[in-house]
C-alpha cells in the first residue's frame, strides 16, 4: 500500500516466477508498468544493472517522467560504472582530425564524449546527510566532467 502522501498511486512489485534474477524481474516490472498502466511518473528505487539502466532509457524515451536512485558517491561514480553510465548518456571514444578546433585547443587527438542524451535532465548528489549538489543540466555536467572543467551545481 503506497503512503497517503502519494495520493492515487499504485505500487508494482518486481517479482516474476519465470525470471531468473532480481534484476531481470525489476527490468520487466519497469517495462510492464509503462506498457500497461500508462503512468505520468514512475519512481524506481536503486537502479543497479545495465538492464535496469536500459529500461530507464526506454521509459524516458516514452515520455514518462522517471524519478530514480542509483548508488554512487557522485556523478563521477556513474561515469566510472560501466553498467550505469547509460543513465548519464554513455561514453564513446572519438579521434579528432588535425583541423578540429578541439584538437587545436587541447592538443589531444583521442577524446571521450557523451554518446547520447542522459536519461535524466536533473541529478541530485547526496554529499553529506545535510548537503546536496543539484545538477540542473545533467548533459552539461557530464560534458564538463569529461572536459575536466568545473561543473555548475546548486
> In a structure prediction context, what are the per-residue pLDDT tens digits for the chain, which is 154 residues long?
667 777 777 777 766 666 578 888 888 889 888 998 889 999 998 999 999 999 999 999 999 999 999 988 899 999 999 999 999 999 999 999 989 888 888 888 999 999 999 999 999 999 999 999 999 999 999 999 998 999 999 9
**What global pTM score does this model have?**
0.83
Q: What is the DSSP letter of 153?
A: -
Q: Which residues contact 90 (CB under 8 A, 6 or more apart)?
A: 114, 115, 116
8 Å CB contact between 68 and 44: yes
**All three cell numbers of 114:** 557523451
Tell me how far apart the alpha carbons of residues 43 and 65 are, in angstroms, rounded to a whole number: 9
Instruction: Name the DSSP letter for residue 81.
Output: -
Amino acid at each position: 500500500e503506497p503512503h497517503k502522501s502519494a495520493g492515487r498511486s499504485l505500487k508494482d512489485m518486481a517479482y516474476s516466477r519465470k525470471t531468473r534474477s532480481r534484476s531481470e524481474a525489476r527490468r520487466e516490472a519497469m517495462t510492464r508498468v509503462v506498457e500497461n498502466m500508462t503512468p505520468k511518473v514512475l519512481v524506481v528505487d536503486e537502479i543497479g544493472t545495465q538492464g535496469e539502466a536500459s529500461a530507464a532509457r526506454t521509459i524516458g524515451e516514452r515520455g514518462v517522467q522517471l524519478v530514480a536512485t542509483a548508488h554512487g558517491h557522485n556523478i563521477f561514480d556513474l561515469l566510472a560504472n560501466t553498467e550505469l553510465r547509460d543513465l548519464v548518456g554513455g561514453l564513446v571514444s572519438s579521434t579528432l582530425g588535425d583541423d578540429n578546433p578541439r584538437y587545436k585547443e587541447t592538443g589531444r587527438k583521442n577524446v571521450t564524449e557523451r554518446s547520447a542524451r542522459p536519461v535524466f535532465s536533473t541529478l541530485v548528489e547526496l554529499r553529506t546527510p545535510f548537503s546536496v549538489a543539484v545538477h540542473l543540466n545533467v548533459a552539461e555536467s557530464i560534458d564538463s566532467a569529461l572536459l575536466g572543467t568545473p561543473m555548475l551545481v546548486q
